[in-house]
Chain A
Amino acid sequence: GDSVTQMEGPVTLSEEAFLTINCTYTATGYPSLFWYVQYPGEGLQLLLKATKADDKGSNKGFEATYRKETTSFHLEKGSVQVSDSAVYFCALSEGSSNTGKLIFGQGTTLQVKP
């Protein structure tokens, strides 16, 4: 079945450092890909999405490119802030069948220190 694999966390960075969180997927068909962020004690917020190969999603300085050839959707930000500390989830929606469900990676905790 379809699956998503994220890099192990936690990731600890200093403020203004460059961020990369790796995400790779296995899917039949043509899934849509998403990054969600979860701040402590809250639900999930959609960060960005891409619906087809070579699409780049971007929001709040974060960006990710849908790479079909490497089945990847890595999240990047050029300069992180303390306020970016959260758990980041990569997810896909199954493209080959209409199941309605999102499949999530295990989440990567980001801690940004001042």
Chain B
Amino acid sequence: EAGVTQSPTHLIKTRGQQATLRCSPISGHTSVYWYQQALGLGLQFLLWYDEGEERNRGNFPPRFSGRQFPNYSSELNVNALELEDSALYLCASSRYGGPETQYFGPGTRLLVL
């Protein structure tokens, strides 16, 4: 069974640009979660999508947004990039929403110059 996949693996942008990160969940999983792992800040919850709807978001500004498609894949968009957005962005999926076990992908490393 294929795991969670993310693309691209690395992304380099300049300040003010937009970044789009993509995630495909494990087959049969309907929930997708996004986390940011920034140096010195640990793992922070960003967004949760389930059945195409945004269910919860963490303490991040509105320029962090995303969506979930009918096939349950998801994309994370970060607008007006700032230097401090440089981080590893991890996507996870679970069979259902809520307190289910989350399985993580390899991440997309975003560097903002």
Segment of B11-19, B42-50, B68-76, B78-86 in the binding face: B42-50
Number of residues from B at the complex interface, CB < 8 A: 27
List chain B residues, Cβ under 8 A from A34: 101
Pick from A31, A98, A102: contact of B102, CB under 8 Å: A102
List chain B residues, Cβ under 8 A from A114: none
A-facing residues in B87-113 (Cβ within 8 Å): 88, 90, 92, 97-107
Q: Mark B5-48, 1 if CB is under 8 A from A, else 0.
A: 01000000000000000000000000101010000001101001
List chain B residues, Cβ under 8 A from A45: 104
List chain A residues, Cβ under 8 A from B99: 31-32, 93-95, 98
CB distance from A1 to the nearest CB of B (A): 11
List chain A residues, Cβ under 8 A from B103: 46
CB distance from B105 to the nearest CB of A (A): 5
> Are B101 and A44 in touch, CB under 8 angstroms?
no
Number of residues from A at the complex interface, CB < 8 A: 25
* Alpha-carbon distance A100/B100, docked complex (angstroms): 8
* Alpha-carbon distance A98/B96, docked complex (angstroms): 11
Pick from A31, A43, A100, A101: contact of B50, CB under 8 Å: A100
> Are A102 and B90 in touch, CB under 8 angstroms?
no
Using a CB–CB distance below 8 Å, which chain B residues touch chain A? 4, 6, 31, 33, 35, 42-43, 45, 48, 50, 55-56, 58, 88, 90, 92, 97-107
Using a CB–CB distance below 8 Å, which chain A residues touch chain B? 31-32, 34, 36, 42-46, 49, 89, 91, 93-95, 98-107
